[in-house]
């Protein structure tokens, strides 16, 4: 795993990059604002998911235990009318695997899972989420964009996650100091005809937090 450690004005902006899913756990390193699993989706999967009509993409927002994710995602795919294919099976398995690994890293008994087909400029402003941490993975379309904040300004240099590369980012409720100085946003795609499919996972430590 490679790791770029940096600090700007009492904020951490270190980003860990790993070639294995185990490396995502480096988010707990003291100076790590985010970790990225550097992987590429298979060409057959990308051709399949890119060819789907947007209404066939699964959509939902649920709070559930990690071991319930596989069944829940399968149900969302059924609702969308997605045909049973090896690519669909891989998608369901991958989301369940990421949920299990993320909940283990966060030590959270529940997760908030969101699957969103996005064709607008959703969350187009750079920001840090008001949560403990978040995992984001884009299965179709342009990946999440991120960069280093200097003061109140947007990042001058913007990076775009590869499609299929999961990223865990610290939020403002991360318990250790200093705070994260890494901002992110959804890429601006309005009017392009592009529809993204984005997975978002948040740790839930108490169901009272789930609203």
Query: What is the reported pLDDT for 170?
Result: 93
Computed over every residue of the chain, the mean pLDDT equals: 89
* Exposed/middle/buried for residue 119 (C-beta within 10 Å: 0-12, 13-18, 19+): middle
What's the number of CA atoms in the CB half-sphere (13 Å) around residue 89?
3
Query: What is the reported pLDDT for 151?
Result: 65
Q: What are phi and psi of 130, to 5 degrees?
A: -85, 60
pLDDT beyond 90 at 167: yes
What's the number of CA atoms in the CB half-sphere (13 Å) around residue 65?
3
Q: What is the DSSP track for 143-197?
A: PPEEEE-BTTBPPSS-EEPPTT--EEEE-TT-SSSSPB-EEEE----TTTT--EE
pTM: 0.91
**pLDDT tens column, 45-83:** 999 999 999 999 999 999 999 999 999 999 999 999 999
pLDDT beyond 80 at 178: no
């Amino acid at each position: 795993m490679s790791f770029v450690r940096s600090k700007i004005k009492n904020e951490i902006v270190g980003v860990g990059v790993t070639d294995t899913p185990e490396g995502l756990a480096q988010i707990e390193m003291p100076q790590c604002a985010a970790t990225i699993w550097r992987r590429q989706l298979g060409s057959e999967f990308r051709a399949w998911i890119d060819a789907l009509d947007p209404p066939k993409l699964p959509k939902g927002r649920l709070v559930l235990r990690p071991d319930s994710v596989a069944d829940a995602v399968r149900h969302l795919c059924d609702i969308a009318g997605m045909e049973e294919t090896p690519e669909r099976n891989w998608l369901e398995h991958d989301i369940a695997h990421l949920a299990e690994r993320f909940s283990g890293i966060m030590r959270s008994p529940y997760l908030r899972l969101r699957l969103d087909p996005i064709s607008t400029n959703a969350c187009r402003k750079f920001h840090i989420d008001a949560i403990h941490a978040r995992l984001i993975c884009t299965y179709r379309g342009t990946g999440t964009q991120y960069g280093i904040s200097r003061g109140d300004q947007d990042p001058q240099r913007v990076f775009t996650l590869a499609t299929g590369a999961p990223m865990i980012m610290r939020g403002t409720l991360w318990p250790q100091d200093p705070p994260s100085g890494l901002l992110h946003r959804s890429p601006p795609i309005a009017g392009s005809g592009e529809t993204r499919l984005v997975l978002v996972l948040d740790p839930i430590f108490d169901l009272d937090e789930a609203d």
